[in-house]
Structure formats: C-alpha cells, structure tokens
C-alpha cells in the first residue's frame, strides 16, 4: 500500500468527530440572537435560507475535518458541489450539514442540529448528530451500535424495533414540511400517534424507539440524511437496519423515502 493509500484508508476517530460537532454547535449558538438569514436559491430550492451560523459552522467543521485527514474530500450543503466526473472516483468522503433545520433555527426553535457522516463505498460508516440548544448528542459507528448522550449523563445505547402494525404506528414527521402526499400515504396505515420534529432528529427518534416510522414525501439532499441514516442503520439489536439511501449520486438529491419498516 502506498503512503497516499494508507492516508486515505486511515479511519478517523469517532471521538474526534464528536468533538468537532460539539464545537460547531457552540459556534452556532453565538449567532442565535442575530441569525442574519437570507435566501440562497441553490439546489433548485429558491426558498432555502442560509444564516451566518450555517456559514460559520461550515468553516469550523471543514477546517477541522481537513486536519483529521486532508485526503478525505467533503460534501457539504455550504460548499459548491464538485462535478460528478470528479466525485465518482471518491471511495471515502465526508457528508456534512453544518446546520440542519435552518428554518427551525430562524424561528427560535431548539430543533436544529449539526450533522457529520463519513461515507465509505457508498455506505455511512459513522454518523454524528448534535443538537446544541439541548446539548443532546446521537452517534453511531458501523459494528458498534448507536448511542445517545443527554447533557452530562453517560451515553446509553439505543435500539429501534421493526414495528408491529397490529399495535398501531407512531409516526414522526417534519415540523416544517407538511404535504398532501404525506396525508395520502398515511391514510391507509394504522396510525395511533403523530409527532413532529425538526431537522435530522426525526431519524434519531426512530433509532431510539420513540417513533416507529419516518416518512418523507418530498426531496432531501444527501447531507440531510447521511448522519441520521448511519444512526438508524446501526440501531438494530443484531446486524443493521436497512434503508434505500445511496450516496455520491450524479445528483445529490434524494426522492421520497420511509425509514422504520426494514
């Protein structure tokens, strides 16, 4: 193995990635009183907002991920996408949303997160989701399960279960993206409760068993789902749960998905 191949294959430490996410959360909170929001009109979404907090957190995360391993490229919501002809050769790369739930952040909600995932061979190997306003951390690494740390409490392992339709479903859905398509999807399911959450916390609620399924009928981007996908996949008691997500597609957009049934 060449020196470059060895450097590329070095697995970053999950603890180091967690530290980066937590520090990025502190950066975000400094901007909370004055978010300075504006529309960025990229990725085909003319109403997508960006704030000073998004950009500052992105700078912090990308700078520190490059220090961990400068040979691992980064896909981030706040970095102009590299063309697919270049990206398609990437084996391992970071997928980052420095402030997921920007609309919730602007509204003053606590449900915004820092999302960092490491994808290898099109599968998320580790994922970190940090909610700075609540000091709430979820993380996972392939083969080592999914975990939750609430404030200063010790981390606890979290598990999800395949839902029993006979008992009815607890559905978690977006606080900011209601849709007629979702209502149509749910009308034929035995729904006993609907709960609402912002950002990637919806993945975490399924991963810890607080909800059974998370259906999303509208488009998302890879950085919206990668960390949550990793946490959900590794929340099984044995092996892994499965999802439909793939990564480093020619378009980084995802279509409709439902997690929780597999």
pLDDT digits over 175-216, tens only?
777 789 999 999 999 999 999 999 999 999 999 999 999 999
Residue 213 is classified by DSSP as: B
Tally: H helices and E strands in the chain: 8, 15
Residue ranges covered by each domain of the chain: 14-157, 159-259
* Residue 239 is labelled as binding a ligand: no
Chain Cα centroid distance, residue 108: 20
Task: Yes or no: say if 261 and 226 are a contact pair by the CB < 8 Å rule.
Answer: no
Tens-place pLDDT, residues 53-86: 999 999 999 999 999 999 999 999 999 889 999 9
Domains 14-157 and 159-259 share a fold: no
Rounded-to-integer distance, Cα 129 and Cα 140, Å: 9
Residue 116 banded pLDDT, cuts 50, 70, 90: very high
- pLDDT, tens digit, for every residue of 1-45? 344 444 455 778 999 999 999 999 999 999 998 888 888 755 444
In angstroms, the first-to-last Cα distance of the chain is: 38
Q: Does the annotation list 97 as a binding residue?
A: yes
Helix axis angle for 14-29 and 52-68, nearest 10°, is: 160
Annotated binding residue 100: yes
Closest CA to 186 of 212, 204, 205: 212
Rounded CA separation 199/210 (Å): 16
Dihedrals φ, ψ of 154, to 5°?
Answer: -65, 145
The domain made up of 159-259 has a fold known as: D-Maltodextrin-Binding Protein; domain 2 (3.40.190)
Q: How many percent of the chain have pLDDT more than 90?
A: 84
52 is in an annotated binding site: no
Please provide the DSSP assignment of 186-212 as one string: HTTS-EEEEEEE-TTHHHHHHHTTS-S
Instruction: Note the pLDDT of residue 11.
Output: 79
For all residues of the chain together, what is the average pLDDT?
A: 92
Question: pLDDT at position 204, please?
Answer: 98
Residue 115 is encoded by which pair of tokens? 């999302």
Q: Is the whole-model pTM more than 0.85?
A: yes
Look up residue 235 and give its two tokens.
Answer: 């929340």
Q: Residue 77 annotated as binding?
A: yes
* 3-class SS of residue 61: helix
- Of the candidates 1, 2, 15, the one whose C-alpha atom is nearest the C-alpha of residue 155 is 15
pLDDT at 175: 77
Please, which residues have CB within 8 angstroms of residue 122's CB and are 6 or more apart in sequence?
246, 247, 248
Q: Taking the domain 14-157, which CATH number applies?
A: 3.30.540.10
Which pair of tokens denotes residue 169?
């479903």
The annotation status of 224 as a binding-site residue, yes or no, is: yes
């Amino acid at each position: 193995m060449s020196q470059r191949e060895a450097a590329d294959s070095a697995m970053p430490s999950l603890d180091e990635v967690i530290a980066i996410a937590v520090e990025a959360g502190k950066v975000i909170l400094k901007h909370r009183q004055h978010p300075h929001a504006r529309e960025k009109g990229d990725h085909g979404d003319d109403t997508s907002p960006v704030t000073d907090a998004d950009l500052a957190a992105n700078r912090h995360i990308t700078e520190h991920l490059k220090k961990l391993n400068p040979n691992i490229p980064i896909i981030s919501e706040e970095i102009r996408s590299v063309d697919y002809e270049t990206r398609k050769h990437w084996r391992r790369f970071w997928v980052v949303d420095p402030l997921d739930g920007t609309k919730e952040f602007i509204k003053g909600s606590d449900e915004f997160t820092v999302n960092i995932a490491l994808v290898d061979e099109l599968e998320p190997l580790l994922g970190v989701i940090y909610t700075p306003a609540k000091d709430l951390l979820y993380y996972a690494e392939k083969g080592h399960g999914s975990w939750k740390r609430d404030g200063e409490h010790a981390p606890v392992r979290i598990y999800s279960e395949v839902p029993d339709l006979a008992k009815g479903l607890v559905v978690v859905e977006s606080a900011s993206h209601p849709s007629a398509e979702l209502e149509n999807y749910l009308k034929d399911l035995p729904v006993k409760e609907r709960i609402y959450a912002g950002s990637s916390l919806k993945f975490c609620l399924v991963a810890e068993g607080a909800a059974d399924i998370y259906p999303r009928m509208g488009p998302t981007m890879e950085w919206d789902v990668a960390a949550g996908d990793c946490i959900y996949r590794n929340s099984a008691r044995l092996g892994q749960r499965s999802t439909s997500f793939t990564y480093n597609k020619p378009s980084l957009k995802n279509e409709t998905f439902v997690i929780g049934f597999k």
